Amino acid sequence: MAKVKVITKGRSGTIQYIEGGLFNKKTCEFYWEFGGADTFAIIWFPKTDAEWDKQYPWAVGRRMDVVRDMAEQVRKQQAPSSALQWGDGVVSLVG
């Protein structure tokens, strides 16, 4: 199972999605920022498979599998009462 690490820098930061072990670690990074009103946070990811495959060649063809896993782990860690709301290249944690 992949590990997810949320890094906060003020009102935004990055999320690291880490697969593999000590000597074969693969990481995807996603930008996030706090939302307003009923939105806890917004997370951006590559909009197309082509963008994803270019940025993360070790995870070709797995864009939405990785993004769904990352988003669900972040939801459970940071805002378990929230729901995931999907958009074009973005997922929001809303409550």
Q: How confident is the model over 34-88, as pLDDT tens digits?
A: 999 999 999 999 999 999 999 999 999 999 999 999 999 999 999 999 999 999 9
Q: Under 8 Å CB-to-CB from 5, ≥6 apart: which residues?
A: 15, 16, 18
Task: With cut-offs at 50, 70 and 90, classify the pLDDT of residue 31.
Answer: very high
Domain holding 56, by residue range, is 3-94
3-state secondary structure of 75: helix
* pTM summary value: 0.94
Specify the number of domains making up the chain. 1
